[in-house]
A = this chain, B = another copy of it.
Amino acid sequence: MKVDGKDFRSIWYNSDTGKVQIIDQRWLPHEFRVVDLTTRAAFVTAIADMWVRGAPLIGATAAYGVAVEMARDASDASIVETWDVLHETRPTAINLRWALNDMTALLMPMPEEERAAAAMQRAHEIADEDVECNRMIGVHGLEIIKDIAAKKQPGEVVNILTHCNAGWLATVDWGTATSPMYHAHMAGIPVHIWVDETRPRNQGALLTAWEMNSHDIPHHLIVDNAGGHLMQHGQVDMVIVGTDRTTAHGDVCNKIGTYLKALAAQDNNVPFYVALPSPTIDWTVKDGVAEIPIEERDDSEVTHVQGKLADGTVGEVQISPDGTPGGNPAFDVTPRRLVTGLITERGICDASPEGLAAMFPERVLG
């Protein structure tokens, strides 16, 4: 999407220099830094230290990492070792594992001398497939926004609330929850985004607000506490969030606090949509609240807040008394009864076993 009027992806191949480039997201929103990744070690660092984040982007980055390594050493041993070192960076990231397996399956049967070119070609495809998947989420989500706009006065703003960053920075382009917003903006529908700051890591404030700012979409940053009040007063027309994992029954595991917004949406008859690429559906899980283990992260994320200091450097403040412990569940589960619909790359379906099965009949288990 746009940064200062120029189109960017979160990872791309620069054909002028022959190098893979990324946005080093650690410095956002305060600095926009583009860096070359020219060695496997650089890819390892970029993924492990979260220069890039977001499941789809991690997968694409790993694919490019394999391609770059193949240009140096395309041996079988190199393929195996590359799988290992890249996989170790974020071992629970499902897209990372998928991308590495895909690359390995492609390359292993191939003569060594063909591997470098084939790997780079496949990395491009993986990136493009992600872009296309997210673009289609936007195409389908746009229809919902159009319907809401059609019930308003001409030119009246459609207010959309979102939580965390399910934006293009978490994917290769478009994002998931943000894709319908970008599509609506580009279609000339006036949208305004309420951006939850999304404590504890503030991905909304740091990333989603930066995306909206960079693409010139009107928005306000709000604290996570504010959404219910805004909905009570008719200031939210719809909610769109992303998801880390959707169960086969339609429950939605997403960043902590999503459930509270879903409750408020239901209480105020505000449509609550979840945008998801189908690979995030976990067909092995049914009841999300009962079955999905929730990661408990370090409590320093709760007791400390990062940002830009008065001197312009990035630092942090401690908000709590010395000695107060923090509790830090990273995700919560929104039961399907609170979800108006799931926006997938194939279209919009009910958050139900039947809705998902009808949309993805070939993937349903047992």
Contact = CB atoms under 8 A, between A and B. Distances in A.
Identical chains in the assembly: 2
A321 B30 contact: yes
B318 A227 contact: no
Interface in A326-366: 326-329, 331-333
Contacts of A324: 29, 195, 205, 209-210, 212-213, 219-221
A194 B326 CA distance: 9
B256 A229 contact: yes
A294 interface: yes
Interface in A281-325: 289, 294, 299, 302-310, 315-325
A305 B303 contact: no
Interface residues of A, number: 69
A327 B226 contact: yes
Contacts of A326: 220-222
Contact of A320 (B205, B230, B316): B205
A232 interface: yes
Name, among A28, A232, A294, A328, the residue most crowded by chain B CB atoms within 10 Å (CB to CB).
A232
Interface in A195-217: 195, 197-200, 202, 205-206, 209-210, 212-213
A321 B225 contact: no
Given A257-B225, A257-B226, A209 B305 contact: no
Name, among A257, A260, A324, the residue most crowded by chain B CB atoms within 10 Å (CB to CB).
A260
B225 A198 contact: yes
A144 interface: no
A41 interface: no
B315 A221 contact: no
A213 B263 CA distance: 32
A259 interface: yes
A202 B307 CA distance: 16
Contact of A257 (B194, B202, B228, B263): B228
A223 interface: yes
Nearest to A194: B327
Contacts of A205: 303, 319-320, 324
Given A222-B302, A257-B223, A319 B197 contact: yes
Contacts of A309: 309, 315, 317
A130 interface: no
A307 B319 contact: yes
Name, among A229, A264, A318, the residue most crowded by chain B CB atoms within 10 Å (CB to CB).
A229
24 contacts: A29-B322, A194-B327, A197-B302, A199-B223, A199-B224, A205-B319, A210-B324, A220-B324, A220-B326, A221-B324, A223-B256, A224-B225, A224-B257, A225-B332, A226-B328, A226-B332, A228-B260, A228-B332, A229-B329, A229-B332, A229-B333, A232-B332, A260-B260, A308-B318
Given A30-B318, A197-B319, A200-B225, 13 more contacts: A28-B321, A29-B321, A202-B319, A220-B325, A221-B325, A222-B328, A225-B255, A226-B328, A228-B259, A228-B260, A228-B263, A306-B319, A308-B318
